[in-house]
A and B are shown apart, each in its own frame.
Chain A
Amino acid sequence: MGLPLPFQPSTPYPSTHPPTHSPMTILLKNILAIYQRELHSYFASPLPYMIAAIFWLLGGFFLVATLLGPQGILAQAAMADQAVQMGMPPAPPFDVAYEFNKGYVGLLGSLSLFVLPMLSMGLYADERKQGTLELLATSPVTNWAVALGKLLAVVSFYIAMVLPLMVCQAVALGAATPPTGSGVFLLSHLGLVLMAASILALGMFVSSLTESTVLAAIMTFALILLLWLVDAIAQGLPGVLGQGLGHLSLLKHFTDFTEGIFDTGGLVLFLSFIVLGLYLTAQSIETLRFQRS
């Protein structure tokens, strides 16, 4: 005990307690802290980089294929022109820029369905695995704030993934004559982000149920298949039932957005899915964490 302890505090421990802020400020600060930490973790681990790389590779390939491929939109337009020159009756005219935007964002949506489970799988499963859920659950932060911060972070990351592809697409659309308006273009991407946010919210809930990221990814993917199935059934079913199911289908409303149709019902549906995901996540942390350990 002769050695001086490196631990020996040089200052007495301050015993002042923090002044209290308004609950709203504290809530916002907590959400921001969770958001920053979550976003920070994407840059510190290799997986998100790989996911982004694959997304950009396939997204770029789809861009080229949709625009310039043998079945691409330009080839189709050229064939329609040729048909007219050969004296055939003219096919109904179509807006190349519009069709390109609709087809491409639709493809991005399908691609996202495969990528989103990988983004959401670790949101809570990793916290469970690292034991940090115990820190979050015993800190004066509501489960809502944690879930919202996390969702905002992962949606931000998704937007960061979509942005470069958006730029490429904007370049292609900029070359269109006559020039196209940006309304449909922006609306379709808004639809894309809203659909992604809905699925990420549900994926976050799935992630909060398990300690295994792989299991979370598989279960989220199964959930997406189910949603897709609902869409397929809705299209096949005649009458009121089919229509009702169709109103609940994420994919149908996403397609509406890509077609430039802004429907408040669609917006409400997406927001409902997001709130549902947040609610289920908060509830699952409140109740299900008790059954683990």
Chain B
Amino acid sequence: MIEVEHLSKTYGSTAAIQDITFGAQPGEILGFLGPNGAGKTTTMRILAGYLPASEGTARVAGYDVHTDSMAVRQRIGYLPESPPLYPDMTVQGFLNFVATIKGVPSDLRQKRADVAMDHCGLLDKRKVLIRKLSKGYRQRVGIAQAIIHDPPVIILDEPTVGLDPRQINEVRQLIKGLAGSHTIILSTHILPEVSMTCDRITIINRGQVVATDTPDNLTARLSGEAAYELEIKGDVDIAQRLLAELAPVRQVLLLGPEHLPEHHHRLRVSAEGDRTLGAVISTALVTAGLELHELRRQQATLEDVFLNLTTTEIATSPEPLVAEDAAEPPAT
């Protein structure tokens, strides 16, 4: 339903996105994950036909967003970064207006508005001026206007921003309820959101796609790699050499000496997924006459995947998943 190929967008001399390729199957929820400023909104706007791409193509429901703009517009519901609302209209009046310009026939308009308000929990606010709504309710009106004409493709740019945890949960349920009959692409910088709602995730950073996979596969990708953190006392050089010689170990990092007693060192060991490695490490260190004060195995979460993929550490790992120019200091 959504095919994006080698998409680039430059503003002046700065590139917002570079050579992005991803896609979404019909009925799928695709999460578009990335830190702030990664190019999520730019990509969303290109998909919605609001911005032209500098290079590459984007197709929605089989139509090119640039050359067949009208055909695409008829088939998408779009919630921009800030919900596009007329503050002086009532919720119902606004939704009726949107239904009209989205081409809903007049006899269906009222019914569609009711259904959209029902789905977004807006029925008791239908007569309220949008100006007087709280941010959470405005966001809901924004979602309602994106689904009112029942489009096959729904593009949601940060749909849960500004909502409280309960509302976030409700919006997630709503999005899940729309899946199947609708193809949904949603952007976010919040991790649990994608792991809970999305079938597939595309992670982007600095305008480039870093990974595309299911949430489970992404987590598995990291948990296939075990990480141990240990605290030792003694000669750290010997320890590092010892650990590096162990077969499954990929990398040994010396961590900062903060909050450690003198002659204590903290090391981080990453290795192939081997649950017995702990025993091997401790034996090796103790036989070498070093004191082992702490040994901890770390569980990989989606958060680790995200941090790994969007910060520079990955560039030094054996299988770089980011292109070279991402090896700048991470954005804080």
Name A residues whose Cβ lies closer than 8 Å to a Cβ of B. Answer: 1, 5-11, 13-19, 21, 26, 29-30, 33-34, 36-37, 40-41, 44-45, 130-142, 289-290, 293
Besides A17-B150, A18-B104, 16 new A-B residue pairs in contact (Cβ under 8 A), listed by A number: A6-B170, A8-B173, A13-B178, A18-B103, A18-B105, A30-B101, A34-B101, A40-B93, A131-B84, A135-B84, A135-B98, A137-B50, A138-B76, A139-B102, A140-B74, A293-B51
Min Cβ gap B17→A in Å is 14
CB of B145 closer than 8 Å to a CB of A: yes
* Residue among B51, B112, B170 making CB contact with A7, cutoff 8 Å: B170
Is B52's CB under 8 angstroms from A290's CB?
A: yes
Q: Is the interface of A mostly helix, strand, loop or mixed?
A: loop
* Residue among A14, A130, A140 making CB contact with B86, cutoff 8 Å: A130
Is A290's CB under 8 angstroms from B85's CB?
A: no
Q: Which single residue of chain A is at the shortest CB-CB distance from B74?
A: A140
User: A6 to B150, alpha carbons, bound, how many Å?
Assistant: 21
Is B120's CB under 8 angstroms from A139's CB?
A: no
User: Which residues of B are found within 8 Å of A8, using beta-carbon distances?
Assistant: 173
For the A-B complex, the count of residue pairs with Cβ-Cβ distances under 8 Å equals 116
User: Which residues of A are found within 8 Å of B50, using beta-carbon distances?
Assistant: 134, 137-138, 289
Given A37-B86, A132-B85, are A139 and B150 also a contact pair (CB < 8 Å)? no
Given A132-B84, A132-B86, are A18 and B149 also a contact pair (CB < 8 Å)? yes
User: A136 to B97, alpha carbons, bound, how many Å?
Assistant: 11
User: Which residues of B are found within 8 Å of A37, using beta-carbon distances?
Assistant: 86, 89, 97
Given A37-B86, A134-B80, are A141 and B101 also a contact pair (CB < 8 Å)? yes
Q: How many residues of B contact A (CB 8 A)?
A: 50
CB of B285 closer than 8 Å to a CB of A: no
Is A44's CB under 8 angstroms from B102's CB?
A: no
Is A41's CB under 8 angstroms from B88's CB?
A: yes
User: Which residues of A are found within 8 Å of B89, using beta-carbon distances?
Assistant: 37, 40-41, 44
Given A130-B87, A134-B84, A135-B80, are A9 and B119 also a contact pair (CB < 8 Å)? yes
Is B119's CB under 8 angstroms from A131's CB?
A: no
User: Which residues of B are found within 8 Å of A138, using beta-carbon distances?
Assistant: 48-50, 73, 76, 78
User: A50 to B149, alpha carbons, bound, how many Å?
Assistant: 38
Is B103's CB under 8 angstroms from A140's CB?
A: yes
Q: Which single residue of chain A is at the shortest CB-CB distance from B82?
A: A131
Name B residues whose Cβ lies closer than 8 Å to a Cβ of A. Answer: 45, 48-52, 70, 73-74, 76, 78, 80, 82-89, 93, 97-98, 100-106, 108, 112, 115, 118-121, 145, 147, 149-150, 169-171, 173-174, 177-178, 181-182
User: A33 to B109, alpha carbons, bound, how many Å?
Assistant: 13
User: A223 to B121, alpha carbons, bound, how many Å?
Assistant: 48
User: Which residues of B are found within 8 Å of A11, using beta-carbon distances?
Assistant: 115, 118
Min Cβ gap B112→A in Å is 8
Question: In the complex, which of the residues A30, A36, A289, A293 has the most CB atoms of chain B within 10 Å of its own CB atom?
Answer: A293
| CB-defined A-B contacts under 8 Å, sample of 27 | A6-B121, A9-B118, A11-B118, A13-B119, A13-B147, A13-B181, A14-B112, A14-B150, A18-B149, A26-B103, A33-B97, A33-B100, A37-B86, A37-B97, A40-B93, A130-B86, A130-B87, A131-B82, A133-B84, A134-B48, A135-B145, A137-B49, A138-B73, A139-B73, A140-B70, A140-B74, A290-B51
User: A16 to B115, alpha carbons, bound, how many Å?
Assistant: 13
Is B108's CB under 8 angstroms from A139's CB?
A: no
Min Cβ gap A279→B in Å is 19
Is B115's CB under 8 angstroms from A13's CB?
A: yes
User: A6 to B119, alpha carbons, bound, how many Å?
Assistant: 9
State the 7 A-B residue pairs at the shortest beta-carbon distance, nearest first: A44-B88, A135-B84, A7-B170, A33-B100, A132-B84, A140-B73, A7-B121
* Residue among A21, A40, A130, A141 making CB contact with B85, cutoff 8 Å: A130
